[in-house]
A and B are shown apart, each in its own frame.
Chain A
Amino acid sequence: MTTTKRVDPAELAKLPCTGPSFDDLRGKLDPIVARYPQRAAALLPVLWVVQRARAGWLHPKSIREVAEYLAVPQAHVEGVITFYTMFKDQPVGRDVVVVCKTLSCRLRGAQEVMDALEDHFGIDMGGTTKDGRYTIETGECLGLCDMAPCMTIDEERHGNLTPESAVKTLEGRPR
């Protein structure tokens, strides 16, 4: 099995930064900033909008632009996005799959689900499928304990998984 390789942070800037230009995003961002007494306070929602608009991850250029836009240091933005797991500082697949690894799901077979996904797609948890379609990672409690084991695909919820149904769900979605 391949070990997922993170891109060295120093090399990230060489990757393309896809998506709309920052000027084109301002129309969405300015109203968010206007809701807060201080610009810096808008950091989380602004990052979220930029991440969604730009291929689901925050390119160093995006970080620089957000830092400049909100007048906060780049190092501060880096700290925030590496703290919150829903912000990505590495390229991701088209959709992000999060398999719950917390207690209830574990008791109901989450490990088998993870193993099946790893085997089927030939990646480690945290990796991206070769076709670039999915990044599959583990996460803390998703709040769906009543349907453990569970996972999310972007904002869709899927519960009562079996190893087979998890694979089928991912393969069965429209390409």
Chain B
Amino acid sequence: MTAALRETPAPTNPPTKTVTLEIDGRTVTVPEGTSVYDAAKSLQIDVPVLCHDPRLRPVGVCRMCVVEIEGARTLQASCVRPAESGMKVKTGSAVVVRNRKMLCELLMADQRPASARDATTGDDQLFAIARDLGADASRLKSVTAPAAVHPRKRDNSSHVIAVDHQACILCDRCIRACDDVQGNHVIGRSGKGYGTTISFDTDVPMGTSTCVECGECASVCPTGALTNKPVTIAMTPRNTLKQVESVCPYCGVGCALKLHVDTAANRVVMSEGRSPSGNDARLCVKGRYGFDYASHPHRLTKPLIRKETAYPKGPLTATGRREDDGTRGADVYPDYAQALSAFREATWDEALDLVARRLREARDRFGSPAMAGFGSAKCSNEEAYLFQKMVRSVFGTNNVDHCTRLCHASSVAALLECVGSGAVSTIYRDIENSDVAILTGTNTTSNHPVAATFFKEAARKGTKLIVIDVRRPDIADHAWQYVQILPGSDVSFYNAVMHVILEEGLEDRAYIEKFTENFEALREVVKRYTPEVASPICGIEPDRIRLIARTIGAAKAMLVFWGMGISQHVHGTDNARCLISLCLVTGNVGRPGTGLHPLRGQNNVQGASDAGLIPMMYPDYQPVANDATREKFQKAWGTTLDPNPGKTVVEISHAVEKGTVLAMYVMGENPFLSDPNVQRVRDAFCKLDFLVVQDIFLTETAEVADVVLPSTSYFEKTGTYTNTDRRVQLGRPALDPPGEARLDWRILVDVMERMGAKQPYRGIEDVFDEFVRLNNSYANLAYRHLGGAGKLWPCPDPENSEGTVVLFGDGFPTKSGRAKFSPAEVIPPAELPSAEFPFVLNTGRTLQHWHTGSMTRRAKMLDAIEPEAYCEMNAADLVRLGIADDAFVRLSTRRNSIRVRVRATHKVQLGGVFIPFHFREAAANLLTNDVIDPKGKIPEFKFCAVNVEAA
């Protein structure tokens, strides 16, 4: 391990002051500031409480937790009363119990006879307290409001949450959860006195409010006021279900969650955040409600072999969506049966033999360079490791890549070049230590919603967020400055910021001298980028550039987060180089609250890259072209390896088109929707001599496969996943695989063995151990460490430590130990708008959907919330074109055209079009340009010229 990767020392805490008090006759010593409630809890004394939750700021409004404190004038709410030395507390004296009972009866008098919470999750806290106290509200019914006569309203408008105002006790938990935990500020109170209710926005139904359906309110509600609606089967009390601690299958934030499983029905019933963990039990709509795709009837349950009659391969089956009758989101997969009709079911033996025989023949006939594989960032570290091992050691080629190429390849290229490591230098929650944070090219509230909650929290506590994006992201609501630069102008903006920093002497001289090299080259380049020069390019006034530069220059700790808006350009590597330079020049790397954090898009982008799903690198970024490294892997795998770096995603597709790659193995990827200029990819793939797809659904790509191998979903298997923080976490199985679907790692081992390469694994854990042996960054890690909150690699002492939070505190893992400035000049985007194609097309994601939608569009709730393809344009542009909001438009580029609904918005700049790429029926990537960044080989998803017409 290099010096740079040494663990950061824990901050030395000042000695804690303590107080000693007596509770129910027992003495306890607690840190000063501890509440009486928590002090009692430390003695295992349970004080009943309604408004308090450990994750929320205590407010003491419910008065249920009152205790008797000797000498106090009245009973005290223990959740807000700090413990004091010498205090004598009684938590269950007669007066306390009488008080609680009265209070409980008053609350129960307004309740309906049965609790909706008891009927679902079985954990209504008010009803439980009433049972414990024997509180009988019947004597009060006649004096309270006639709840039975004029009950308060129910609100079933939300897709995921049922609201019953009659059950609400105004404990404020949901309001604090929405404000303080999630930072969404949707819930408030309406009215005053007895008529007060919780309300959404301006007291509109929850389903029409600005609620993003994260479910945090329902998770903290103590009564039947806010309850989850069933996602798969009817909700049953949690004590009737099996609990499985796992990790969310969606984005790179990698939230730790707990699945509640009905084992008899083989269904996940409910998902909850868990703590302690990186996400502190927070979840978003995908993590909380998006788990049911695993049980979708479209799951593949038997191996499929293409019928002889289904050659030659034709176009994709039609989606059959009824576009013109006004029904939104009518089933987009009505032709699944038709798609399946091209295949016949086969036994595993037949399918695996066929796959092994055809791949072997292809390798022997066309040679190893004609073979290629796409792995996936949705698979585990073990599966990614095995997949690249199969392609390298059995297919004999380095033509193995995955969707990282489409998201952060340029960021990783720049990071490896400049700081010697492609991983984040600190975790996302380190923002709590930053006084300034840049969020650029990231729509965090949609794509990393739980990370966004921590960013919003930091902003509330004083961190200045500088949000830079061509399309106004919702996190801009929380920003100190929102900077709407012109599309593709990133380099000019950051160069101008650095120009001001250097001109005004705001750089960190000492840091530059001690830890960096090539500084003069940067100075030379940015010298020319005065704010006045950059302003017309990036569209930001010179004075604002100066203001931002000065704020960054004055920051004690600045952290930079970025996403696809930076990376998916022909100048993506240059964009990332600028961000790295900005951190280095101001000395903002290697300390708490500083550093570089490219937010990873998928659950295991970091891990799949660490595991070597990269054509030029073995696991742990060890170059394939290096003889010593290759020798190590040849020895470990007992085979000869190709010394030539392989092709990247887009290069492989182009090679398939040219006929130089002829056989492909695709595991969990769906290039038919995810790749740029996708018609070209589809046409090319039809020409493959042999294509095998291993997936859980018959994806668009699988439709043209020769063999489809049904594999297991995230919820059915054990494996480790590395999130955007470098946090390695263990996913555990919750469900049995459907039908004959088989574990992915077993399928890979089966194929390798049938191709003649014997594998040594007794179980999945052996695969992880082999991976760890060949990957220094993961050294010392084993399954037994990876439950709970997981471990942050590098983790020299997993028995006692969470791992390394901040990297590069004392230098960089480069040859010289220094980081290198790599200055960048402005390069225009590859395809500029013209008279024929006057708009700029930008692609991205939505909150509810994920990647090619193969999972989220089969998740009932997510699909119900966002059922249909759409694009967004500036309202003024639509007025100018005479197109109404919500009408259909035709978007055309030099490559293709699609018909899709348009939404008017002010988030998109004039002259811009934004389109999410999840939707098969209007695939954004039919339009995108497959030109790539020369260094990162990432396609320019974020910029191409497009024309818009009414349709």
Contacts and interface: CB of A to CB of B under 8 A. Distances in A.
A78 B185 contact: no
B190 A82 contact: yes
B200 A75 contact: yes
B765 interface: no
A12 B205 CA distance: 12
Contacts of B210: 74
A124 B469 CA distance: 54
Nearest to A12: B202
Interface in A45-93: 60, 63-64, 71, 73-79, 82-83, 89
A75 B208 contact: no
Interface in B154-205: 179, 185-192, 199-205
B204 A9 contact: yes
A83 B187 CA distance: 15
A1 interface: no
Given A10-B204, A10-B208, A76 B192 contact: no
B868 to A, nearest CB: 23
Contacts of B192: 82-83
Interface string B124-145: 0000000000000000000000
A56 B201 CA distance: 21
Nearest to B198: A75
A12 B202 CA distance: 10
B202 A79 contact: no
Contacts of A77: 202
A82 B179 CA distance: 19
B208 A78 contact: no
A75 B205 contact: no
A10 B191 CA distance: 15
A68 to B, nearest CB: 9
Interface residues of B, number: 19
A75 B191 contact: no
Instruction: Name the residue among A9, A74, A77 with the largest chain B CB count within 10 angstroms.
Output: A74
Contacts of B199: 9, 75, 78-79
A9 B203 contact: yes
A60 B185 contact: no
A78 B202 contact: yes
A75 B204 contact: no
Contact of A73 (B185, B191, B203, B205): B185
A63 to B, nearest CB: 5
B809 to A, nearest CB: 37
A79 B185 contact: no
Contacts of A63: 202
A36 B243 CA distance: 52
Nearest to B199: A78
A157 B674 CA distance: 70
Contacts of A10: 204-205, 208
Instruction: Name the residue among B189, B201, B210 with the largest chain A CB count within 10 angstroms.
Output: B201
Interface in B197-219: 199-205, 208, 210
A60 B187 CA distance: 15
Contacts of B200: 75
Instruction: Name the residue among B188, B199, B203, B205 with the largest chain A CB count within 10 angstroms.
Output: B203
Contact of A82 (B187, B191, B208): B191
A84 to B, nearest CB: 9
A33 B382 CA distance: 58
Nearest to B185: A73
Instruction: Name the residue among A10, A64, A77, A83 with the largest chain B CB count within 10 angstroms.
Output: A10
A127 to B, nearest CB: 18
Nearest to B187: A75
A89 B179 CA distance: 23
B188 A79 contact: yes
A63 B209 CA distance: 13
Interface string B545-563: 0000000000000000000
A64 B203 CA distance: 12
B202 A74 contact: yes
A63 B210 CA distance: 14
B224 to A, nearest CB: 22
B202 to A, nearest CB: 5
B208 A79 contact: no
Contacts of B179: 73
A12 to B, nearest CB: 8
B201 A74 contact: yes
Instruction: Name the residue among A13, A64, A75, A83 with the largest chain B CB count within 10 angstroms.
Output: A75
Contact of A78 (B190, B205, B477): B190
Nearest to A76: B188
Contact of B202 (A60, A71, A83): A60
A75 B192 CA distance: 14
A78 B203 contact: yes
A13 B209 CA distance: 12
Nearest to B179: A73
A67 B361 CA distance: 67
A89 B192 CA distance: 14
A90 to B, nearest CB: 11
Nearest to A79: B188
Contacts of B188: 73, 75-76, 78-79
Given A10-B208, A74-B210, A79 B201 contact: no
A162 to B, nearest CB: 31
Nearest to B190: A82
A132 B579 CA distance: 61
Nearest to A60: B202
A70 to B, nearest CB: 12
Instruction: Name the residue among B185, B186, B205 with the largest chain A CB count within 10 angstroms.
Output: B185
Nearest to B192: A83
Contacts of B204: 9-10, 13, 60
Interface string A74-114: 11111100110000010000000000000000000000000
A57 to B, nearest CB: 12
A99 to B, nearest CB: 19
Interface in A1-57: 9-10, 12-13
Instruction: Name the residue among A9, A63, A79, A89 with the largest chain B CB count within 10 angstroms.
Output: A79
Nearest to A11: B204
A78 B191 CA distance: 9
Nearest to B204: A10
Nearest to B153: A8
Contacts of B189: 79, 82
Contacts of B477: 71
B363 to A, nearest CB: 61
A13 B201 CA distance: 12
Contacts of A9: 190, 199, 202-204
Contacts of A76: 185, 188
A64 B202 contact: yes
A5 B192 CA distance: 19
A153 to B, nearest CB: 24
Nearest to A63: B202
Nearest to B184: A73
Instruction: Name the residue among A64, A82, A83 with the largest chain B CB count within 10 angstroms.
Output: A82
A51 B201 CA distance: 18
A60 B208 CA distance: 13
A60 B200 CA distance: 12
30 contacts: A9-B202, A9-B203, A9-B204, A10-B205, A10-B208, A13-B204, A60-B202, A64-B202, A71-B477, A73-B179, A73-B185, A73-B188, A75-B185, A75-B186, A75-B199, A75-B200, A75-B202, A76-B185, A76-B188, A78-B190, A78-B201, A78-B202, A78-B203, A79-B189, A79-B199, A82-B189, A82-B192, A83-B191, A83-B192, A89-B203
Given A79-B188, A82-B192, A89-B202, 11 more contacts: A13-B204, A63-B202, A64-B202, A75-B185, A75-B188, A75-B199, A76-B185, A76-B188, A78-B188, A79-B189, A82-B203
